[in-house]
Homo-oligomer: A and B are copies of this chain.
């Protein structure tokens, strides 16, 4: 059975590592901030002192950290995974990071005989806890097939989109689309409120037609109440949207709506709303329209 290492024990990572440990994989964990490994120790996980030590004790290393520089530091920094994981190892990165950096990381590890799968996820903390994540995977076929039984412990819908970086590109597409739909729903609802309509009647009437969306069905209530419990944090979506806009610049793609959403989210994060659910994109539309 593969020996698994797991780097990054935040809300997502801790839940995902737990599923792998409980499935019987020998598990070593590491987190930048100490004190996150206690629950996992209770199911038999060993805590490594450094990513390098974790790498040396593992066949497959999962990473679930915040952003591109964090993945780079974990892999290639001092005492990084790359100093410990040997030829024949596999890295599975579940973080949401830059597709082009992902290609570079995969190429660099390939020179050391280490495989790479990018496997960013969708479904939030609830999906991580229930192991119902949607997983967007990139990498060569052999690496993907090796990772698949482990990924199946984390989510039910795993799609392989192509070479390394493909999974991250799909995640970027997802974040671009949801930004626009959140904004579309927010604008429509604020217009409905100011027009004196019963907004819940509007949501019901429009939800079954061309305007129907998951976000209209599931997030309009928060926008109407102007109250945004989690969910998915605005500051994390803004980070992901930054990755998507960087990708768009690299590829020469023009995304006016995603750019607009990023600007509005800049304002939300700066004003201290970054830890709210991202349905708070309705906040600036409400405020600019004179709704408290």
Contacts and interface: CB of A to CB of B under 8 A. Distances in A.
Contacts of A180: 180-181, 183-185, 187-188, 257
A174 B157 contact: no
B188 A173 contact: yes
A191 B260 contact: no
A179 B191 CA distance: 14
A257 B232 CA distance: 22
**Residue of A189, A204, A208, A212 with most chain B CB atoms under a 10 A cut-off:** A212
A197 B161 contact: yes
Contact of A260 (B198, B210, B256): B256
B251 A170 contact: no
A247 interface: yes
Given A177-B206, A209-B134, A191 B255 contact: yes
Q: Work out how many copies of this chain go into the complex.
A: 2
A162 interface: yes
A254 interface: yes
Contacts of A166: 195-197
B187 A184 contact: no
Interface stretch (A11-19, A20-28, A80-88, A284-292): A284-292
A289 B191 contact: no
Interface in A116-175: 122-123, 134, 136, 157, 159, 161-162, 166, 169-170, 172-174
A215 interface: yes
A9 to B, nearest CB: 25
Contact of A191 (B123, B216, B251, B290): B251
Contacts of A205: 134, 136, 157, 159, 161, 170
A178 interface: yes
A89 interface: no
Given A123-B209, A177-B188, A178-B211, A196 B253 contact: no
Interface of A: 99, 122-123, 134, 136, 157, 159, 161-162, 166, 169-170, 172-174, 176-181, 183-185, 187-192, 194-198, 201-202, 204-206, 208-216, 232, 244, 247-248, 251-258, 260, 285, 288-290
